[in-house]
Structures are given as C-alpha cells and as structure tokens.
Amino acid sequence: MTRSAPEWFKLNEEATSQIMRRIADAVSANEMTLQVKSAPMLAHWFILDTLLLANQANRDGMHANALALTRQCVEAIGVVELGVCGHPDAEATLLKWEADELTAGKLRAWLQAHVWPGYGSGLWNEPWFTFMREFAGAVQPYAHYGRGLAQWQFRLHRFQDADEPNADSHAIIEMRPRAYDAQKATRITLFHALLSYVLGRIWQAANPADAEFTALMARLGLALGKSRYLDGHQTDWSRQFWAMVWERGGGTILE
C-alpha cells in the first residue's frame, strides 16, 4: 500500500520557496557597514547550498553524511538572523562575530536575551528559547564522527521486542555503502523542514504585518508539531533524532 505524504511535508513544499525568497530579499537589503553587510547573505547562501547537498546525500542513502551537513546549518541561522531581525545592536553583534570575538553559543545567548522574547512560542507553546535549545540539541551530537553518527549508516529493517521477560530483543540491520533507510530519510527531511520553519519565523517576527505569511507559518508549525517523530509538549525531542527509532512490535516507519 502506498503511504501518503504527511501534512508537514506537503506544507513545507509550499512554504519553503516563500521563506527562502523572503530571507534572500531581507539579507540582501540590510544597511549594515560594508565589513559585515554581506555576512548574513553569505550565511543564507551557505544554508541553501548545504541543504542542496544534504538532500542529494539523503536521497542517495548517505544519511550520516546528510545529517553531518545539516548540522552545519544551525549555527549559520544565527548569522542570518542578525541580518533580518532589525535589532539596533545587531550590527555591533555581527561585527564581534566577524572579529571572532563571539562564539556560536554566545551569539545564541545574545539572541535569546535581546531578540527571541519577541518571537512568541515554539511548536507546542513553549518559549522560543526552549524550542531553539531543543532544535539545536537534536543534531549537536553529530558535529563529529562518532558512534551515533556511524549508526546513521545502517538500515534498520526491523526491531523485535522480546516475547518474555529477561529474554533478548533482536534487530535486523543491513550494513552496506549507501544503505537507503526510508525512516532515516524522512527524519532528516523533517529536520530540513524545521530549518525552513525557523527561518520563516525569523522573517515573520521582523515583518508581523504579513498576515498571509503568518498564517502559513502557523499551519506549518501545527503540522510539524504533530509529527510522531517529535515528542510534543515535552520539548525533549533531541532523542527522536537518535539513529535507531522504532515502535513496539518492530515498526520503523512513523510519519
């Protein structure tokens, strides 16, 4: 039986081009000094190119490579945000970043203190800084090649719980180059949709009068929040981006 695409996937297909076009216009039109004027634009180009490469790797079964690439987009978002948010101190903050005086963590701390309070809530009515902490934490373990990232190179066919207490569970795992795993591919695509959603919310916060776009972001956020790969109001969903995820009884494909 053919599975229909989840609602978040269909809405993301509609929203991404609108989001990226708005971000591109905003970062190109900023009026910062020449020293940093191009930095948000370059960061946006970096995100677009990285997602292009990650999508190709994901489709070809190179899920670990796709995830490692995707992780690089998270820190670039902060630089884009400085070019879009319109805060009077954004330029001075970007100058510190350009001079290597501001780490990615300190940049997020500045945004949390000065910009994020105006963004409202995340996917489940949690504060935006909580959502961003979980969003960044979901792929932070994949900054380096380790055991966790290596597991994204496996294809998990099935996991079977033990039939009796104290008995062993077992899994059927395929290991070969480019072992395409539909669940892993879907989850990486979900994270890419979250990246687009974050960029959309950044633009929306700086341009609240665009009611039609605000409504689109609300629909996309609602659909993303209903994905079974995220754990809803608990906002502790980094665990859902572990390499191996399954349901009781062995099912691996959720939505």
CA-CA distance, 217 to 155, in Å (whole number)?
33
Range of the domain at 203: 7-241
In a domain? residue 250:
no
- Asked if the model's pLDDT at residue 188 lies above 60, the reply is yes
Look over the chain and give the mean of its residue pLDDT values, rounded to a whole number.
Answer: 87
Please report, as a single letter, which amino acid is at residue 254. L
3-state secondary structure 25-54: HHHHCCCCCHHHHCHHHHHHHHHHHHHHHH
In a domain? residue 1:
no
Instruction: Give per-residue pLDDT as tens, 127-148.
Output: 999 999 989 888 888 889 988 8
249 token code pair: 């009884």
In a domain? residue 113:
yes
The pLDDT confidence band at residue 1, using thresholds 50, 70 and 90, is very low
In a domain? residue 2:
no
CA-CA distance, 250 to 240, in Å (whole number)?
16
In a domain? residue 88:
yes
Q: What does the pLDDT average to over 215-238? A: 81
Instruction: Give per-residue pLDDT as tens, 175-185.
Output: 677 889 888 89
CA-CA distance, 157 to 173, in Å (whole number)?
6
- Asked if the model's pLDDT at residue 226 lies above 50, the reply is yes
In a domain? residue 246:
no
In a domain? residue 167:
yes
Helices (H), the chain: 7-28, 34-37, 39-59, 63-84, 90-98, 104-114, 128-139, 147-150, 182-206, 211-225
The pLDDT confidence band at residue 49, using thresholds 50, 70 and 90, is very high
In a domain? residue 53:
yes
How many degrees, rounded to 5, is the angle at CA 219 between CA 213 and CA 222?
140
CA-CA distance, 223 to 136, in Å (whole number)?
20
Give the range among 23-27, 154-158, 226-230 with minimum mean pLDDT: 154-158
Cβ neighbors of 22 (< 8 A, separation 6 or more) are 200, 203, 207, 213
What are the backbone dihedrals phi and psi of residue 200, each rounded to the nearest 5 degrees, phi first? -65, -40
Q: Which of 80, 17, 8, 95 is nearest to 46 (CA)?
A: 80
Domains in the chain, number? 1
Instruction: Give per-residue pLDDT as tens, 27-43.
Output: 999 889 999 999 999 99
Cα separation values, 108 from 59, 75, 128, 181, Å:
31, 9, 12, 33
